[in-house]
Homo-oligomer: A and B are copies of this chain.
């Protein structure tokens, strides 16, 4: 899977003095199961305290859309999204939660967190 971070645009945090939370809820995430090739669906929730830069919303949508035809596991995709967004925005804190639709009668949630070392 190629590097997707270049899809992500950013803009300057309008208020760097305050710690504050930004949250984007994206209920239209879809990728493919790496074993069966069948589509998976999830709601991806991104929450972060920006430091110097924020992620631009439209580019973030394109970033999520870029997984559409990738075969990737639940646990990997959630860690990947966090890694990419941490790399690009260097936030003070960041949480990515992925809620996957029912498969085999079971729904799954993966939640990963990052905190900048002080």
Interface residue ranges, A against B (CB under 8 Å):
11, 13-15, 18-28, 30, 38-39, 41, 54, 57-58, 60-61, 65, 68-69, 73-76, 78-79, 101-114
Contact = CB atoms under 8 A, between A and B. Distances in A.
A76 B22 CA distance: 12
A101 B104 CA distance: 10
Nearest to A77: B14
A28 B113 contact: no
Nearest to A72: B14
A14 B57 contact: no
A26 B106 contact: yes
B20 A110 contact: yes
B22 A106 contact: no
B39 A107 contact: no
B20 A111 contact: yes
